[in-house]
A and B are shown apart, each in its own frame.
Chain A
Amino acid sequence: MSVAFDEKVHKTLADANLQLAIYRATGRLIDHRKHAVAATVLPDYQELRTQANAIKKHTIDHLDHYLEQFEANVTAHGGKVIYCEDATEVADFVLGLAKERGAQLIVKSKSMTTEEIDLNERLEHHKLESVETDLGEYILQLAHQRPYHIVAPALHLTRYDVGDLFARTLGVANETVVEKQTLIARAVLRQKFLAADIGISGANFLVADSGAVVLVENEGNARLTTSAPRIHIAVAGIEKLIPRAQDLAVFLKLLGRSATGQALTVYTSFLSGPRRAGEIDGPEEFYVVLLNNGRTRLLADRAKRESLYCIRCGACLNHCPVYRKIGGHSFPWVYSGPIGAIITPQFLGIEHEPSLPFASSLCGACAEVCPVKIDIPKVLLDLRAEAKQAEGRKGANRMERLAFKIWAWVMCHPRIYEMAAMVAASVAPAGNGKWLRSAPAVMNLPPVRAWLSQRDLPPAPAKSFRQLWRKR
C-alpha cells in the first residue's frame, strides 16, 4: 500500500463522525434501492439488467460505428461534435469558444467526466468563472474538495460544515437549517444561471440514433444549465453511447432505482441539438465534447472492456464493505468504491496506485447490485495479477515473492508439506488462536507482523486431514 493511501484510510477509520456519516448515507441508499428493485414493484428487474448488459456490450464492441452515427445525427440537428484526447484539449476548446463568443461566466451541472479532467480549475486558471450548480458540487467547489461519492458528492460534510463554509465564502449569516442553506444556494445560483453565457453539462447517455444527450438529475440545475445560457456544451466520455432512444426504456428504469431508489429521477432531459425554428427558448449553440482520456486503452483489453459499461449509479459504492469503511477520499482519483478500484488503474496505469485492486474483500456485493452486470470481482482479480507482474518487472517485493515461491514449492511436494505442517502444528496449541503472540521471534518479523495485524490464523487442528484420511 502506498503511504498516502494507507494514511488516508487510517484517518478515515479513526474519525468516528465520518464513519457514522458514511454508514448512514450508504445504508439509506441501500435501503431505498432494495425497495425500488423488489420483485413486487419491478418484476422484470433481472431481465432489465440482462438486457442493459447486452446493449452495452453490443455498443462498446461496435463503438466506432455508434460514435460516427451519433456525430452524424448531432450535426444533422445543427449541433457539433468535438473529439478530445485529454484534459488539455477539452480546456482549449472551451477557452477558445468562450473567447470567440466573449463569454465571461460558465454554469456547470454535475459531471464526473469534468471532475476527471479538472475542468473548473483549468478554466479558472484562465480567468473564466465556472460555477458548479448541483448543491453538493457547489458546496465542494467552495470547499475546494473532490466528490466523496458518485451520487452523493458531499455526504461527508455536516450541515454545520456547510453553515461555516457559506458564512466564510458567501458572507452570509451562519445558518444551520438545511432548508435555509438550500435557499441561500438557490438565490446565489439563480443569478448565475440568468447571467451565464455558457452551460456545461455531462451526459448520462448519448443516444446514437437521435444525436441526443440524456441528463438525469433531481434538482433542476442540469435543466437550467442546458436551457438558460446561449451555449450548451456537453462533455462526455466516449463510452456513454447507447444505440437507440428506445433503449432508454431499459436504462432509465435501472439508473434511478440503482442510484437513489427512485423509479425515475425528478428530471430526465433528452436534448438533441440547439433550439429549433419556432421553439421559444433553449440554447442557440450545442456542442458535444467526446473525451477519450485513456478509454481506448481500456477498450483494447478484451477481458476488462466491460468496465466501460458503467452508468455511474454508485450502487457498488453503497454496497461495498470496504468503501463503507474507508470512504471516498481514500481513493486516489475521482472515482471511488469498486468501480473506482477497477477503472482508476486502467485509466491512469496500474503503477499509479498498485494496491487499489487489493482494497476489496472480493465479496461480490458490487457485481450483485450492478445494473449493467459488470463482473467487478473478476476485473479486480485480473488487475491484481497485473499489479504483481508489474511489481515483478520492477524487482520490488523480493521477500513476498520468495515466500510465495517457497510456498508453491512446498505445496508441490507432499512429503515436505506434511513435515512442515507437523512442525507448525506442534508449535501451535490448538483452539485458543493466541499462539502467535507467544510464538518464536519469526512471528515478530515486520512483514509477518504486518500480515498478521489484519488477519487471524485459524488454530491448528489436533490431527491433520492427511492423518485422518489414512486412519479412515
Chain B
Amino acid sequence: MSREAILNQVRTALGRGAGQGIAQPPPVRLRVDDMDLETRVGSLLHAVEALAGKTRRAATGEEARAYVRAVMHGRTAVASNAPFLRECGIVDLAGVQSGFTDATALRTLCATADVGITCADYALADTGTLVMLASPAEARLISLLPPVHIAVVPKERVLSGLDELFTILPDPAARTSSMVLITGPSRTADIEQILVRGVHGPGEIHVVVVE
C-alpha cells in the first residue's frame, strides 16, 4: 500500500537517500554479573517468593515429581513435551496428560486442565523470571491457560539476569518464534489500584529448581 510513500517521507524528513549507509550504532551494553550458581539459585527463589510465587529446591527428579504431585493434589494437569519432565517421571503422574503435537487438542485440554507443567529454558536470578522458548518441547499455552503453572528448572539453567540471557542468546529469533519472560503470577491493578492475581494467566506459580 503506502510502503514507498512512507519510506520516502522518512528519508526526506531525515535528509537521507535510499540505501544510504548508517553511522555506527551505540555499542551493545551488556554487563554480566559474576555470580556463582549457588548464589543465583538463592536469588531466584527469593525473587520468585517476593512476587508471591512458591518455590522448592529438589535434590533429585524424584523429589521434584513428589512436589508436583503434592501441588496437583488430585487435580488434572497438562505437561509439556520437555525431555526433562519425562526424566523426572512427572509425565507419568496420575492425572497428567502430555505428548501433544496437535494445537487444537492441546488447546482444548489446556482450557480445562487445573495445572500446566513446563520446563523453563532459562531462569533469571535477579528478577525471578522464567524464560520460555516455544519449540516442539514447549507449547505457548501450557504456561498460560491453566490457573496454576508449575515450572521445573534444572539448576544449571539459572542465569544471573537479562544481560546474561542476551549474551548467551543474542538472537532469540534464530531459535524460536516466541520467547516469553514470565515474572510472577498474572496480575492486574486496573480497578482502584487493587492488586488481583490470576486475571488472564495463572494466578499461582511454582518454581521447582532441580539439582
Instruction: Spell out A's residues near B (CB within 8 Å).
Output: 21, 24-25, 28, 44, 47-48, 51, 54-55, 58-59, 61-65, 67-68, 73, 77, 82-85, 89, 93, 133-136, 139, 152-155, 157-159, 162, 178-179, 181-182, 185-186, 189-190, 193-194, 207, 209-212, 218-221, 223-224, 227-228, 238, 243-250, 252-253, 260, 262-276, 278-282, 286, 290, 292, 296-297, 299-300
Contact = CB atoms under 8 A, between A and B. Distances in A.
Interface string B99-143: 011110011000100000000000000110100001110111100
Contacts of A244: 25, 28, 170
Nearest to A56: B26
Contacts of B138: 280
B190 to A, nearest CB: 4
Interface stretch (B64-72, B87-95, B175-183): B175-183
Contact of B178 (A133, A209, A224, A271): A271
Contacts of A77: 173, 177
Contacts of A275: 103, 134, 177
Nearest to B30: A249
B11 to A, nearest CB: 5
Among A51, A55, A77, A267, find the residue whose CB has the most chain B CB atoms closer than 10 A. A267
B178 A178 contact: no
Contact of B177 (A193, A218, A276): A276
A209 B170 CA distance: 10
Contacts of A280: 81, 100-103, 106, 134, 136, 138-140
A219 B186 contact: yes
18 contacts: A51-B26, A63-B10, A65-B20, A83-B6, A85-B1, A85-B2, A93-B1, A136-B188, A158-B192, A186-B198, A207-B173, A218-B186, A219-B187, A248-B162, A275-B177, A279-B135, A280-B106, A281-B106
Contacts of A139: 190-191
A211 B7 CA distance: 17
B163 interface: yes
With most chain A CB atoms within 10 A of its CB, the pick from B11, B101, B138, B192 is B192
Given A55-B25, A228-B141, 7 more contacts: A64-B11, A83-B5, A135-B188, A135-B190, A190-B200, A270-B180, A299-B10
A292 B11 CA distance: 13
A296 B8 CA distance: 10
Give the secondary structure class of B's interface. loop
A155 B191 CA distance: 7
Contact of B183 (A207, A265, A279): A265
A58 B23 contact: yes
Interface string B158-197: 0000110110001111001111111111111111111010
Contact of B196 (A85, A179, A267): A179
B201 A220 contact: yes
Given A211-B173, A300-B13, A178 B194 contact: yes
A221 B190 contact: no
A388 B37 CA distance: 62
A46 to B, nearest CB: 13
Contact of A182 (B127, B136, B188): B188
A292 B22 contact: no
B60 interface: no
B191 A245 contact: no
Nearest to A292: B6
Nearest to A191: B111
Interface residues of B, number: 77
Given A152-B193, A267-B182, A246 B166 contact: yes
Contacts of B29: 47-48, 51, 249-250
Contact of A28 (B166, B179, B193): B193
A419 to B, nearest CB: 51
Contacts of A157: 191
B75 interface: no
Given A85-B6, A178-B192, A267-B182, A243 B25 contact: yes
B201 A266 contact: yes
B171 A209 contact: yes
A51 B26 CA distance: 8
A228 B107 contact: yes
A270 B135 contact: no
B191 A65 contact: no
Contact of A58 (B26, B31, B194): B26
Nearest to B183: A264
Given A63-B14, A280-B100, A220 B199 contact: yes
A451 B86 CA distance: 76
Nearest to A276: B177
A273 B174 CA distance: 11
A64 B7 contact: yes
A260 B6 CA distance: 34
B192 to A, nearest CB: 6
Nearest to B196: A182
